[in-house]
Amino acid sequence: MSDDKAVTIPAQSTGPGRADGEVLLKVTGLQKHFPIKKGLLQRQVGAVHAVDGLDFEVRSGETLGVVGESGCGKSTMGRLITRLLEPTGGKVEFQGKDITHLGVGGMRPLRRDVQMIFQDPYSSLNPRHTIGTIIGAPFKLQGVTPEGGIKKEVQRLLSVVGLNPEHYNRYPHEFSGGQRQRIGIARALALNPKLVVADEPVSALDVSIQAQVVNLLDDLQQELGLTYVIIAHDLSVVRHVSDRIAVMYLGKIVELADREQLYKSPMHPYTKALMSAVPIPDPKRRNAKSERILLQGDVPSPISPPSGCRFHTRCWKATQICKTTEPKLIELRTGQQVACHHPENFADQAPQDTVLLTVAKAAAELVADEVLAESAETSAAVAAEVAAAAEPEAAAGDASETVADEPEAAADEAESAESEPEAPASEPEAPSAETEASAETKVTKETGDK
């Protein structure tokens, strides 16, 4: 989908309890490493860490949006949970049943319950088959005869997805892109599935058609009680249809939050960067906090992902701990999990670590001053709130002290993003010039090796 074109999709209905259903799908430590082989003997010389330890749940009736840049492992994740791919590690449970390593035979009954809609409506439909044959194929594969026969059921499905049932005998090339995607949706719905995984369902379509297909998916969810995992490379589509959103970066989930919370106060810097790239269609809001965050360089190779936090090579907040220690995905706020040492809109998780890496300073140059200042301000305000809530008594006595301390630390942070690193605000004593210089040299040397 083009970045400069905004998709105007009205906010979708969020029925009561839509996200409160039973857990339909549970994924634990899910991994997929594609081996890289070389030579005559086809020895394995490495692996593409496409999906590298995912943990999440999908509840009945909800829509989980999964976003991330190209190559971060979204499609692989989709194929793993629909069991089109065999995981390297971890566990996939569907309705409490472990389906991680089920064979073709074991998966057959489950194929009815879990369906996938593919990105490209041009290549995912066999051009030699009529749409009647295409949509009717799942019945034949499963040996199911619907009431009234396959033809009648296929015609019913055609009208459900907004196509003319009379077109049963036409071929895919006789339909437009949007209509072909409707055919793909009808095929996915044939066996009345519980979970539908849609991999970039609208990104191959014309912008004007995208909203129609998204609305169709939403209507079908209301009518048929479907559960969706919708994969997209940016937030402009999933923001309107998802109850929760998982943000992926290099094979990992870096943030998983309720839609509202993610938009109101994203915590991972990468989420913030992705959100800044979403065009704002409302002209009144065009100038409001819409500073675009440009990310430095490309996504690193999933063959040898960066150490620690994988985003540290492009993050404007990265410090030494980000390079050495992988942050765990933890629930910092109810309904919002994040894997970050220095989250936005929340108290710093590693406040002692304030010296920015050289790469972070380079990344900060691509981020508008306003964004850096706002980031420092909100983080400081939240930190003060958290401190006050944690120690109400102490806060009552030392309120002025606590509040006065935090913005200073934050101001240091903003400053250090632009200038040479300052002495860490929380250190009891400023480190000597020598210590500071050696820290900087070490960082420069290490990052120079990249």
Interface residues with ligand ATP (CB under 6 A) are 34, 48, 50, 68, 70-76, 233, 302
Instruction: Count Cα neighbours of 319 within 13 Å in the Cβ-side half-sphere.
Output: 21
Residue 35: which H helix or E strand, with range? strand 23-38
Distance of closest approach, residue 18 Cβ to ligand ATP, in angstroms: 26
CA distance 50 to 32: 6
Distance of closest approach, residue 327 Cβ to ligand ATP, in angstroms: 21
CA dihedral 57, 63, 68, 74 (to 10 degrees): 60
- Residues in a beta bridge with 255: 247, 338
Reported in sequence order, the residue ranges of 353-406 that DSSP labels E, i.e. its strands, are none
User: Residue 380 in contact with residue 404, Cβ under 8 Å?
Assistant: no
Q: What angle do CA 56, 59, 65 make, to 5 degrees?
A: 60
Distance of closest approach, residue 121 Cβ to ligand ATP, in angstroms: 16
User: Residue 121 in contact with residue 204, Cβ under 8 Å?
Assistant: yes
Distance of closest approach, residue 44 Cβ to ligand ATP, in angstroms: 12
CA distance 441 to 383: 31
Minimum CB distance to ligand ATP smaller for 47 or for 102: 47
CA-only gyration radius of the chain, Å? 25
Q: In which residue are the tokens 């210089």 written?
A: 437
Minimum CB distance to ligand ATP smaller for 74 or for 310: 74
CA 247 to chain centre: 2
Minimum CB distance to ligand ATP smaller for 68 or for 172: 68
Distance of closest approach, residue 49 Cβ to ligand ATP, in angstroms: 8
Residue 246: CB partners within 8 Å, gap ≥ 6? 56, 64, 65, 66, 67, 253, 255, 256
Minimum CB distance to ligand ATP smaller for 85 or for 386: 85
Distance of closest approach, residue 274 Cβ to ligand ATP, in angstroms: 13
Residue 158: CB partners within 8 Å, gap ≥ 6? 131, 135, 164, 165, 167, 168, 186
CA 443 to chain centre: 30
Residue type for position 250? L
Distance of closest approach, residue 430 Cβ to ligand ATP, in angstroms: 44
Q: What is the 3-state secondary structure (H, E, C) of 273-320?
A: HHHHCCCCCCHHHCCCCCCCCCCCCCCCCCCCCCCCCHHHHCCCCCEH
Minimum CB distance to ligand ATP smaller for 204 or for 376: 204
Minimum CB distance to ligand ATP smaller for 25 or for 186: 25
Residue 98: which H helix or E strand, with range? strand 97-98
Distance of closest approach, residue 433 Cβ to ligand ATP, in angstroms: 44
Minimum CB distance to ligand ATP smaller for 86 or for 427: 86
Minimum CB distance to ligand ATP smaller for 303 or for 330: 303
Minimum CB distance to ligand ATP smaller for 305 or for 424: 305
Distance of closest approach, residue 255 Cβ to ligand ATP, in angstroms: 16
Distance of closest approach, residue 303 Cβ to ligand ATP, in angstroms: 8
CA distance 48 to 58: 26
Minimum CB distance to ligand ATP smaller for 304 or for 432: 304
- Written as six digits, the tokens of 203 are 């990104």
Minimum CB distance to ligand ATP smaller for 72 or for 376: 72
Distance of closest approach, residue 412 Cβ to ligand ATP, in angstroms: 36
CA dihedral 367, 406, 403, 405 (to 10 degrees): -140
CA distance 135 to 133: 6
